Amino acid sequence: MSAQSAAVRTAMRVTRQSVATRGRILTAVALAAIILLLAIAIRIQDGSQEALVGVLINAGLVFQVPVVTLVFATSAFGDFTEDQTLVYLWLRPLPRWHLAVAVTCASLVVTIPLTAGPLVVAALIGGAAEFAIPVLVASALGSAAYGSLFVALGLRAKRALTWGLIYVLIWEGILGGVSASFARVSLRRYVVSAFTETAGVGWEGHTTSAGHAFAVLTVIVLVGVGLCTWFLHSREIE
C-alpha cells in the first residue's frame, strides 16, 4: 500500500470517528423515527399515496436530508478546526484535493445511510415500493450535494452550523418557496425534482426535469470539493 493510499484511509477513518458522535447519531435517528411513524400512520389510516409523497418530500427530502447532512458535514473539518488538530490531517502526504475528497466521502459514508435509509423504509412501510429507488437516488444525491458544500463551509466559516441552518430554513424554506428566482439557486428544487420526475408524482413547488436535476446535483458535488480544496490551499492551518 502506497503512503498516499494509507494517508487517505487514515483521513477517512479519523473523520468518520470524529463526526459520528452519539449526539449527532441520536439526532438523525430521532428525525428518522418521526418519518417512519408518519409512514406507519398513513398505512394504518388509508394508505394514501398522496399523503406518503408529502411525507417523503416535506419531512424527508426538504427537511431531514439537508438538516442531518448539515449536522455531520459541517463537523467533518469543523471539529478538527475547533480543537486545533486539523494540522495533523493537513500535514499528511496528500494532495489537497485528495484530502478534500477523503473527508467529504467519510462524512457521506455516515450521512447517506442515515438519510436515505429511513426514506426507503418509509416508502416500503407506506405501501409504495415503487418510490423506494427514486427516493433512494434523490436522497443520496441530495446528501452528496449538500454534504460537499457543507464540508467546505465547515472548513471555512465559524458557526458553520448556524449559517447552514439559515440557508436551509430561510433561503430554501421561505424564499425558495415563494420565488422562482431563489428556487433556481436552491438545492431543494433539484433534490425534489430528482424524486418527483423519476417517481412520476407531482409537487406544488418549483421543479425541473430529472436530467437537469441530476446534472446540477453532480456539478454541485464537484464545486463543493473544489471549494474545499481551494480553502485547504489558501488558509493557514494552526
Question: Would you state the pLDDT for residue 178?
Answer: 64
Q: Would residue 235 be called left, alpha or beta, if left means φ above 0 and alpha means ψ between -120 and 50 degrees? A: beta
Give me 119's grid cell.
426514506
For Cα atoms 222, 63, 80, give the angle at the middle one, nearest 5 degrees.
Answer: 55
Element (H, E) at 98: helix 96-125
CA distance 45 to 96: 53
- pLDDT of amino acid 7: 66
Whether the per-residue pLDDT at 45 is higher than 70: the answer is yes
Q: What is the dihedral of CA 57, 195, 211, 143, to 10 degrees?
A: 70
Q: What is the mean pLDDT of the chain?
A: 86
Per-residue confidence (pLDDT) for residue 55, from 0 to 100: 94
Which long-range contacts (C-beta less than 8 Å, at least 24 apart) are formed by 170-175?
Answer: 172/62, 172/66, 173/62
Please determine, for residue 32, whether its predicted confidence score (pLDDT) is greater than 80. Answer: yes
- As a whole number of angstroms, the distance between CA 171 and CA 194 comes to 20
At residue 102, the pLDDT reads 87
- Is residue 33 predicted with pLDDT exceeding 70? yes
Question: What whole-number percentage of the chain has pLDDT above 90?
Answer: 52
Residues 6+ apart with CB under 8 A from 69: 111, 115, 142, 143, 146, 147, 150
Chain centroid offset of residue 41 CA: 26
Q: Which of 39-43, 48-52, 192-196, 202-206 has the lowest mean pLDDT?
A: 202-206
Q: Which residues of 79-99 are buried (b: 16+ CB within 10 A; e: fewer)?
A: bbbeeeebeebbebebeeebb
**Could you report the per-residue pLDDT of 123-140, keeping only the tens digit for each?**
999 988 999 999 999 999
Q: Mean pLDDT across the stretch 187-213?
A: 88
**pLDDT at 140 (0 to 100):** 97
